[in-house]
Chain A
Amino acid sequence: MSFTEHAGRAAALFAVDPFGLGGVCLRSPAQPARERWLRLLRESLPEETPWRRIPSNIPPDRLLGDLDMAATLKAARPVAERGALAAADGGLVVIAMAERLGAHTASLLNGVIDSGQVRVPRSGVMIEHPARIGIVALDESEAAEDSTPSSLVDRLAIVLDLHDIDPRASVRSFRDRESIAAARRLLPLVRADREVLETLCGACAALGVSSPRIAWLALRAAKVCAALDERTNVSGNDLALAAQLVIAPRATQLPSEAMPRDEPSAQAPADESRDGEGASGPDTSHSDASAARVLAAARAAIPRGLLVRLESAHANRSRSPAAGRAGALRAAGKRGRPAGSRAASGRGRLHMVETLRAAAPWQKLRGGGSGERLRIASQDLREQRFKVRSPTLTIFAVDASGSSALNRLAEAKGAVEMMLAECYIRRDTVAVVAFRNSTAELVLPPTRSLVRAKRCLAGLPGGGGTPLAAALASVAALARQAQRRGETPTIVMLTDGRANVARRGAAGRAAAHADALAAARALPLCDALFIDSSPKPNPLAREIADAMKARYVALPHPGAGHLSGVVRAAASHAPLHRRGAGSSRARIHERRDRT
């Protein structure tokens, strides 16, 4: 089955049961193939199906509904207005740029997906609407960026990655609208026996997918697949497809049995018997659902990038992409949330409800009242306040090269854990980049979870060359990402500064040092701390620190406690120092000038 057929099947499956399957996470840049897939999906649904596209920054009142201000004013009593989710009841909600969804918006969506209804208590009215919806989350994130909040992805049965699709390929319909409608009618009758459940749960376990919800969604997908084939019993083929669409994209490990290690593209998925050209009719030849075959199919569908990561030496550290970026996801929701209102200054956005609240008590005095025109005075005007937080992301770049690597790594690890543990960093996050040989690797994506930090930092390898330039480039990318999210990055370099691997991976100290200097100058403007761990202060390290505009500290034997102290002082992490964040930052600049 080619990839385009795979995508076609996903569309047909989802069209049968959008609410039951929860949704599709469509990982793809904005490209014609994505538009074609969406069109195909739309054409597979009944004609009148609601289809609503919402932006990822949709405010809660538009999402769930609120008071209809015009009607409320006219009637002089609260009149509710439906939100986007209720308006899409029985249909689909397409979320544009879902990777930018805030954790809060995601949690509201999750509640509606779980319950199939919207309930919002508002002054005097309970806004209550059915909202049986399917979600299409358009996720345009690139590899290292935030992706759709994992709590939401956990509720969307299908994860489809169109990054590798042939841009000219036409995604064809796998079933027409009529047979999809027929499958929808047949679906409630489809049964799955215990063997089927065991196979699915076994596949989840073998691929390291722990959420029982995923096993449940895979079962649902397998049933839909059977219904599409006009059967009422789930077959091995159904399971294979469900495993590919639902379980495989979330794999965190490879099956432990000796699986054939074919290239994923070369390995034919388990349904050779189908030609994917809309062939219908019972297909019971595969009812001997063998777990191994389901696993093989799932393995073939594991995205290439993920497979490489899973097969690499550090497989045990990384989880699924969604789970792995959970720490950063939340940060995406921290930009400019509505946060109450204040008296209008004339520049902000008018907050209608609050303005009315302010005006209401005075209506009698001003001669207004029921049925009369509302009298609003200038002092009543309220404007929306937005809260833009600027949490700190501390990026540790740790030199894992050479003989002292293990020591340094251990100290950095200790410092990270201490910072997370001691400070209960509430909105601040920590990331770790380790560099050795020719590459820099993001070993701990931005997180504030101590649990994650401990897991990710366990057993970092050390030794090899010092690719300082690569490390600085990686740090710069991370810092820029943080700044885009409205965070304040702080960089902590922990190295002896002896670069010996140049940008393109070639060895040679001079070129490596020059490259490192260039990379250092290219860092975005932010606080930086350069900790020189060489036995004697190293002038080359100093040079790089200056190019980074970093504060230079020589710490020949940095202990974890000492290290976290220095970093805290620099980044004003400690809660006690929080209020004085500005001043302590100023202090750093001052010291920098003196050095």
Chain B
Amino acid sequence: MPRESRQNYPFSAIVGQEEMKLALICSAVDPAIGGVLVFGDRGTGKSTAVRAMAALLPPMRAMTECRYACDPDDADGWCDECRALGPRKKKPRMVPVPVIDLPLGITEDRVVGALDLERALSQGIKAFEPGLLARANRGFLYIDEVNLLEDHLVDLLIDVAASGENLVEREGLSVRHPARFVLIGSGNPEEGELRPQLLDRFGLSVEVKTPAELSERVAVIKRRDEFERDRGTFIETWRGADDKLRRRIVAARKRLREVVAEDAILEKAASLCMQLGTDGLRGELTMIRAARALASFEGARSVEVSHLRRIAPLALRHRLRRDPLDESDATARVERAVAESLAP
């Protein structure tokens, strides 16, 4: 929510939490990876990082006067209105990539959209007032404490996140519009599990922990103290680093298609997934995609084993089948398998 206040904590100023930053950068480079789930201790800056990422995203081109910010270059993904009107003469506008908060207590009509009360009352017109899913189109949808989300909202998200389309049937309205967004969730695993179907919608998952090193803890508090004392100066200090990071993300996006993944790499990814017994192909596909995004971000021309090794825990740990008799947690299991399959 404080996104528009331009008082966000700069992404580059976040101390430690390398894995979380890596996952967020990868999904900024390639939104098709399918979002990030950040699970971990309280107060570790999960929300801060997500909101800071919003400021890193370069603005995007959008159709003028389109409520769903359709992409002028992607006619296949247009909403019905854009299709009906066809290509417009007016220049596309540049808009910031939306990062929309989905608060827990929100009602369903705010999420999917509802009858426009103003126009209905003043003009007697039955019109659709888009909800959060419309605003999140082509951007990010952020749910803090995602494991506490109400079931009916979870059902809704599971469907929309998979189809990329929001279907509204209510109050005599029948509307469908594109709703392709990257799902970012955060939460504390001590408070409850996530439905496996929803878990599966997240491309990458990250575990954040309180820094163990005293010096790192001190650095976290020190930075926060500086930020709170003089936000303007602090943000100015880090602007250069954030700008540089943004340029790297833009460059990585452009190069993404040129980054090759050799067959040997694909085989390694497949054997790792087989060894871990992950369900379906999604884990494998996500891992390759994310490894490609990482390679591109780091300026590599092809995906290397080192990329796979770093991405594997993020892409696979939430896709393992539960084994209640195996005491070791998912991360340890992935790391064990990585050590065996992807030995340097």
Contact = CB atoms under 8 A, between A and B. Distances in A.
A119 B119 CA distance: 22
B117 A360 contact: yes
B74 interface: no
B222 A211 contact: no
A192 B193 contact: no
Given A77-B121, A197-B221, A360-B115, A330 B41 contact: no
Contacts of A122: 110
Contact of B117 (A124, A201, A454): A124
A59 to B, nearest CB: 9
A107 B189 contact: no
A33 to B, nearest CB: 30
B101 interface: yes
Interface stretch (B84-92, B210-218, B279-287): B210-218
Interface string B186-211: 00111111011000000000000011
Contact of A194 (B132, B150, B218): B218
A219 B190 contact: no
B218 A124 contact: no
Contacts of A165: none
B225 A104 contact: no
Interface residues of B, number: 66
Given A103-B145, A219-B221, A326-B188, A123 B117 contact: yes
A357 interface: yes
Q: How large, as a class, is the contact surface on chain A?
A: 35 or more
Given A330-B192, A422-B322, A211 B42 contact: yes
Interface string B1-12: 110010000000
A197 B152 CA distance: 45
Interface stretch (B18-26, B122-130, B236-244, B311-319): B122-130
Interface in B30-69: 41-45, 47
A457 B119 CA distance: 58
A169 interface: no
Contacts of B218: 194, 197-198, 201
Nearest to B197: A424
Contacts of B107: 60, 338, 340
Contacts of B2: 114-117
Given A107-B148, A338-B107, A356-B121, A123 B116 contact: yes
Given A151-B42, A360-B115, A197 B222 contact: yes
A327 B109 CA distance: 29
Contacts of A454: 327
Interface in A356-382: 356-358, 360-364, 368-370, 374
Nearest to A61: B107
B324 interface: yes
A323 interface: yes
A339 B116 CA distance: 20
Given A201-B217, A448-B192, A361 B126 contact: yes
Contacts of A323: 190
A3 interface: no
Contacts of A105: 105
A131 to B, nearest CB: 11
B122 A370 contact: yes
B287 to A, nearest CB: 24
B115 to A, nearest CB: 5
B144 interface: yes
Interface in B112-143: 114-126, 129, 132, 135
Interface stretch (A43-51, A202-210, A263-271, A392-400): A202-210
A327 B189 CA distance: 10
A417 B1 contact: no
B140 to A, nearest CB: 16
A357 B171 contact: yes
B220 interface: yes
Interface string A80-111: 00000000000000000000000111011011
13 contacts: A60-B107, A107-B103, A124-B117, A192-B225, A201-B217, A215-B221, A216-B220, A219-B221, A330-B192, A357-B171, A360-B117, A361-B171, A448-B193
Which 3 A-B pairs have CB atoms at the shortest separation, nearest pair first? A360-B120, A213-B43, A211-B43
Given A108-B103, A151-B145, A330-B148, 4 more contacts: A111-B144, A201-B217, A205-B217, A426-B151
